[in-house]
Structure 1
Amino acid sequence: MAGGPALSSGGEVRSYEHLLDHRPWYKNKRLILLNFWIVILLVTSSTNGYDGSMMNGLQSLPQWQDAFNHPTGGSLGLLGAIQNIGSLCALPFAPYMADGLGRKSVILWGACLMIIGTILQTASQNVHMFIGARWLIGFGLNFAATGAPMLISELAYPSQRGQITSLYNSLWIFGSFIAAWTTFGTFHIPTSWSWRIPSAIQGFPSVIQLFLIWFVPESPRWLMSKGREEEALKILAYYHAKGNAKDPLVEYEFQEIRTTIQLDREAENSVGWMTLFKTPGNLRRVRIIVAIAFFSQWSGNGLASYYLNKVLDAIGITNPTVQLLINGVLQIYNFIICVFASLWCDKIGRRKLFIISTAGMLVTWILETVCFALYSERGNVAAAHTFIAMIFLFSTFYPLAYSPLIVTYTVEILPYNLRSRGFTLFNFTICLSLIFNQYVNPIALQNIGWKYYTVYIAWLTFELIFICLYLVETKNRTLEETAALFDGDEKVAFISNQATDKVDTTEKRIESTDDKGSL
């Protein structure tokens, strides 16, 4: 795991790295327990990832097609988009619940709604019931997806925060390949259970959370914002320092969180939605958050995520078994790449991964477009096979950044007082872009075929230019220091120095005690 940052203030380098426990996390029982609770939070993302791949797989099942009258065009687009429309409807409520009732409460509420939704989806008797159930799943998912990543980043051990928060969105792909192989496995069931079983399994992560969320610790940041500092200190001490509240790392974290929350309160007595747009630092945050949210869905990946079977049909691969097999293998490959990027994000750096990812997608998308055009215009079978290879090559670059890092980067650049609102803006942008993808993509693909791919070439070029110009490196900093980056070096240094001064006082007290004891 990566170490702490080195901050410079007036030429003086300050670092918290020497305060960390540098033993492997699996040799620390408290960190094992903390990471187990974090895994319970990570599975929220798998529900969302499961849905995209499930809908992809269901479209290849004749039983599902027969049950819902072979939907095409706008009807198919609505079936794919309705879950994100449900998520959009929850956006006005989720941040207020997360800030008012706590991160755990909003996750619990979302899990309950998703369980009800999956029950209805599994029992669907007609397309209207199926659409309504998917809307409810999306509505509940937004609550859970608002609370979970914030709680993960606010609980994680400092040197593990980047990797663990990045794994949150990696679980999107884990859910995706579980759905891909589930639909592959149920393909040969001759009854409606071929699609009802995958529908029922979608609720499994929410059931796990419903039973175990009670034991997960609450966010120390949220507790301190509510004046419950003793509870926050106990959580930090128990999980980060074997219960020692006087540990220098715990005192550093505690003081840093307290200073940041106090500064935010002094700077803005009343925090509202317009606060996101009031200062140059906040405007820079919003610009990046909105951009990477759109980029994560408008990079061409939506065609492979939700409508892979339509793309494969277009290049002559129509066998459902082959389509499901390609989908399943693709999801496993994506997951491996995504986990690699998550674990190395603090070594390689966020900015470098985003640039490599975007540039790689642009090159491979151009090659995909050429192959698609050759097959469509000339019937070139070799071009069709090369197109499949290009899909896998594209899937090498996309999950390097846009799967693991978009949530991590969004959460860490936002200060505590704006974190839930800023993350809601991120989710709102994701929903809008997904609705566009799921509704427009099948219509455009059906009407203009390979020419639709040229639109994404222009867009990916714009993405690469934007990332190079505006994305700031944030690796190896604490959550508070990363958020302060956009407000200037002075604020970063002030927060770090306040925390360091507290630790210096503690260490001097300990040394004095040791000296007296030795005498």
Structure 2
Amino acid sequence: MSDFTPKDEKDELNSRGNVEVHHDEVLANPDLMNDAFDGENLEHEMGVWTAVKAHPWACLWAFTMCFTIVMESFDMFLNGNFVAQSAFQRRYGVSVGNNEWAIPTKWQSALFQSGQCGAFVGVFLSGPVTNRLGYRWTTILALIFMNATIFISFFADSLTVLTVGQALEGVPWGFFIANAPAYASEVVPLALRGACTATLQMSWSIGSIIVAAAVLGYNKRNDEWAWRIPLALQWIFPTPLLILIFFSPESPWWLIRRGRKMEALRSIKRLGSKTEEQAHKSLAMMERTVEIEAQLGGAPNLLDLLKGTDLRRTIITCLMYASQNFAGNLIANQATFFFEQAGISPDKAFQLNLINSCLQFIANALSWILSSWFGRRTIYLWGTATNITLLFILGICASIPQSVTTNYAQAVLGIIISFVFAGTLGPISYTIISETSSVRLRALSTAVGRAAYYVAEIPMIYLASKMLNTTGWNLRGKCGYVWGGTACVCWLMAYFFLPELKHRSYRESDILFNRKVAARKFKSTIIDVRENE
């Protein structure tokens, strides 16, 4: 164990300006190295249920941080429902005949894209801010900003103001989505990384369930409160989450990177280590990994993501995030409108949307079991292959002569596609993203990866609206051909480039990438616990 005292640590911080520090004494001290070996072996030996019982607080704090994503989900699905809401259509839409109204494609796209544009700005701000302030305070400040920006959307009296409000709300979304997977992966033990990072997708489903229920309840209103009340429901999230996160521990990995060892030790204890000895072994394991990475570079910056083996890790992270837009996910984001375009009545479409959201939640829960049994790469490849098949069937179903039967068949296929995504591709992508980046660059890597998601999503949202809208291409279920084709590209890229990182510690992942091991050989390569590459 280290003889580093709180006073020593304080002096060390003052002399270094509270920046990234080295931990050379770990690699040079045999006792500390033995502690590091024991700490890593303990994580490898720990099963899922044992980890849950030993670290319930870690699970709680990881889930709390992941739950911030419910706000982005809520707003994304809310806009998707507004464009299908009759009161909203009459207020802001254009007549398409037979006493029917529709929101023009350009405004549909603007409503969907504005929040994502704001989030694009947010994710780039989140990396440097998080590196300086930590996950906890960065998220608290984002929640305060979120509370303020909701006022603009709630009081908006035109599509222009509503679009501006959504763009400003998007900035804190960027902070949430960049920090949540990184924090969750750093506070839980190895056995729980898959399940806890998968709760990000569950937060999306919870947001969609609340939206579906709210919009269904207010859909029959003919006044402005049909959409203003659902907008006001956004205020139920930030303040309770802010209070919870205020009492949460900071990531011990972040604290160690900043040289704050005693605070890191306290965080480790709060997260579930039962004994002083176990806590010190976990601390030594983290210090060892941080020191190995620190020897490869100094204080992290965005350019480091493009250097050496980190470039490969950055590309994988970006591809995983971007691919979420290409395997049917955009059908889920505009489910109500998709159901209406498939020939389902508006009332039935809103009911189906609620069913769809509840089924996604069930799929998210099932993903915990899948991630315990199967590898990340296996789940991603098989999930993508399943959705490719379903998307092409959807396209075929929309191409034959239409009837009530084909209408409902398209709706059911849309629900199944969303279910498969929510149980495989969606949650496992977050797990892969959180495990792929190096510890030193994690805050920056998850931010840039999410930026790649928005770069892909913003034009795809326009394309999705254009394909579905009656004032656009009006493809309806034939969009399955398009998304099926893009999903094929995702499968091919994953087959050749996606490594298997299940059961790998962050040190082992570093070594595998530094050795430039082929993606398909990650699982079979043996790494000794004493190697310090």
Which residue is 1:505 aligned to? none
Task: Say how many residue pairs are matched.
Answer: 475
The 1:195/1:239 distance shift into structure 2, 3 A limit, reads same
The answer to whether the aligner puts 1:336 opposite 2:372 as a matched pair is: no
Which residue is 2:329 aligned to? 301
The answer to whether the aligner puts 1:414 opposite 2:437 as a matched pair is: yes
Letter in 2 for 1:346: S
Q: How does 1:124-273 map to 2 (within 5 A)?
A: 124-242=156-274, 244-247=275-278, 250-273=279-302
Which residue is 1:55 aligned to? 79
Q: Secondary structure at the match of 1:404?
A: helix
User: Which of the numbers 495, 508, 515 marks the counterpart of 1:468?
Assistant: 495
Matches of 2:232 and 2:479, distance apart in 1: 35
Matches of 1:230 and 1:344, distance apart in 2: 37
Cα pair 1:357 1:399 within 8 Å, conserved? no
Q: Secondary structure at the match of 2:221?
A: coil
Letter in 2 for 1:271: P
The 1:227/1:27 distance shift into structure 2, 3 A limit, reads closer
The answer to whether the aligner puts 1:287 opposite 2:278 as a matched pair is: no
The 1:424/1:495 distance shift into structure 2, 3 A limit, reads farther
Cα pair 1:108 1:144 within 8 Å, conserved? no
The 1:259/1:18 distance shift into structure 2, 3 A limit, reads closer
Cα pair 1:225 1:261 within 8 Å, conserved? yes
Which residue is 2:505 aligned to? 478
User: Which of the numbers 353, 373, 381 marks the counterpart of 1:355?
Assistant: 381
Cα pair 1:45 1:168 within 8 Å, conserved? yes
The answer to whether the aligner puts 1:496 opposite 2:529 as a matched pair is: yes
Matches of 2:434 and 2:512, distance apart in 1: 13
Q: How does 1:19-30 map to 2 (within 5 A)?
A: 20=46, 24=50
Cα pair 2:107 2:159 within 8 Å, conserved? no
Which residue is 1:386 aligned to? 409
Letter in 1 for 2:376: R
Cα offset for 1:158? 3.2
Task: Provide, for residues 43-84 of structure 1, a one-character-per-residue CA deviation record: whole Å limited to 9, x for no partner.
Answer: 111112212221222223222223323421111110111100
Which residue is 1:508 aligned to? none
Q: Secondary structure at the match of 2:277?
A: coil
Letter in 2 for 1:353: I
Cα offset for 1:16? 2.6
User: Which of the numbers 82, 89, 114 marks the counterpart of 2:146?
Assistant: 114
Matches of 2:263 and 2:377, distance apart in 1: 36
Cα offset for 1:419? 0.7
Question: Runs in 1 of length 4+ with deviation above 4 angstroms?
Answer: 17-28, 489-495
Task: Provide, for residues 440-459 of structure 1, a one-character-per-residue CA deviation record: whole Å limited to 9, x for no partner.
Answer: 22123322615544222322
Which residue is 1:432 aligned to? 455
Matches of 2:248 and 2:57, distance apart in 1: 10
Cα pair 1:260 1:495 within 8 Å, conserved? no
Which residue is 1:71 aligned to? 103
Cα offset for 1:311? 2.8
Matches of 1:23 and 1:396, distance apart in 2: 26
Matches of 1:37 and 1:327, distance apart in 2: 30
Which runs of no fewer than 5 residues in structure 1 stay unpaired? Answer: 1-13, 500-519
Cα pair 2:327 2:483 within 8 Å, conserved? yes
Matches of 1:64 and 1:389, distance apart in 2: 26
Cα pair 1:109 1:144 within 8 Å, conserved? no
Cα offset for 1:498? 7.0
Cα offset for 1:21? 8.4
Cα offset for 1:86? 0.6
Matches of 1:18 and 1:479, distance apart in 2: 12
Cα offset for 1:494? 7.7
User: Which of the numbers 84, 93, 98 marks the counterpart of 2:125?
Assistant: 93
Letter in 2 for 1:102: G
Task: Provide, for residues 129-172 of structure 1, a one-character-per-residue CA deviation record: whole Å limited to 9, x for no partner.
Answer: 21111111101111122222222211113322221111122211
TM-score calculated relative to the size of structure 2: 0.83
Cα pair 1:170 1:342 within 8 Å, conserved? no
Cα pair 1:82 1:131 within 8 Å, conserved? yes
Letter in 2 for 1:472: P
The 1:432/1:256 distance shift into structure 2, 3 A limit, reads same
Cα offset for 1:220? 0.4
Task: Provide, for residues 421-468 of structure 1, a one-character-per-residue CA deviation record: whole Å limited to 9, x for no partner.
Answer: 111111101111221122222123322615544222322222222222
Cα pair 2:56 2:272 within 8 Å, conserved? no
Cα pair 1:87 1:141 within 8 Å, conserved? yes
Matches of 1:283 and 1:239, distance apart in 2: 32
Which residue is 2:514 aligned to? 487
Cα offset for 1:397? 2.1
The 1:421/1:34 distance shift into structure 2, 3 A limit, reads closer
Q: Secondary structure at the match of 1:227?
A: coil
Which residue is 1:82 aligned to? 114
Task: Provide, for residues 193-230 of structure 1, a one-character-per-residue CA deviation record: whole Å limited to 9, x for no partner.
Answer: 22112111123222222222210000101111111101
Matches of 2:139 and 2:125, distance apart in 1: 13
Cα pair 2:43 2:189 within 8 Å, conserved? no
